[in-house]
Amino acid sequence: MLLANPTAEIDAPKIGRSLPKVLGIAEVNTLLQLPELTPPLVLRNYAMLYLLYASGLRVSELVSLPVNGCNLSNCHLRILGKGNKERVIPFSETTRALIKDYIERGRPLILKRKPSPLLFISNRGTSMTRNRFWQIIREVALAAGIDKEISPHILRHSFATHLLAGGADLRSVQMMLGHTDISTTQIYTHVDTARLKSTHQRFHPRG
């Protein structure tokens, strides 16, 4: 005789979402420290890194960003993201200066008179792949002495976490990231809380 399963009516426990990994502000500053020599490809790489951290773009959006999607006069991007939803993202004057320098001194030398609608191109003057940019960010991190795991998405996570920690409202960060559901953005408030808890446990004398 088969017995009824006593757990059949009990809901399974929800699996918690793991917190995204982020860089500290000091690590970001180290990563974005410009080297003394800035040939065209180095200018391109740092312009991409600065813009990624300044805007929180997805890597696919970064490598496919058209020149006319970057407004240097008003310091904002116009992005066509998931589901063909358009969003506007501001960026800083520091990022603007670096992109302008890349456009004037780096991009023409990389293109070698080839036309391209894209802002960031490969050393062959063609569109850059996501994998290639992953390699670039790891190369820059290693050269900067950052030996932890790093990826374009970690810079996106860092962008959101640092904005919220600095007092930005959740809805604005949601719009900049292009999240449909605000609960997706709320995970970054938990990241900051987790870091505060870790700091407290580390340094409080009675922790």
Among residues 82, 100, 130, 200, the one annotated as catalytic is 82
For the question of residue 58 being annotated catalytic, the response is yes
For the question of residue 148 being annotated catalytic, the response is no
Among residues 21, 76, 138, 179, the one annotated as catalytic is 179
Helix (H, G, I), strand (E, B) or coil at 177: helix
Among residues 58, 96, 107, 157, the one annotated as catalytic is 58
CB contact at 8 A, 53 and 158 = yes
Helix (H, G, I), strand (E, B) or coil at 87: strand
Residue 191: how many CB atoms within 10 A of its CB? Answer: 19
For the question of residue 188 being annotated catalytic, the response is yes
Among residues 96, 107, 156, 162, the one annotated as catalytic is 156
For the question of residue 156 being annotated catalytic, the response is yes
Residue 63: how many CB atoms within 10 A of its CB? Answer: 22
Among residues 46, 50, 102, 188, the one annotated as catalytic is 188
Axis crossing angle, helix 182-203 with helix 152-165, rounded to the nearest 10: 80
Among residues 21, 87, 153, 195, the one annotated as catalytic is 153
CB contact at 8 A, 1 and 137 = no
CB contact at 8 A, 135 and 116 = no
Q: Report, as residue numbers or ranges, the catalytic residues.
A: 58, 82, 153, 156, 179, 188
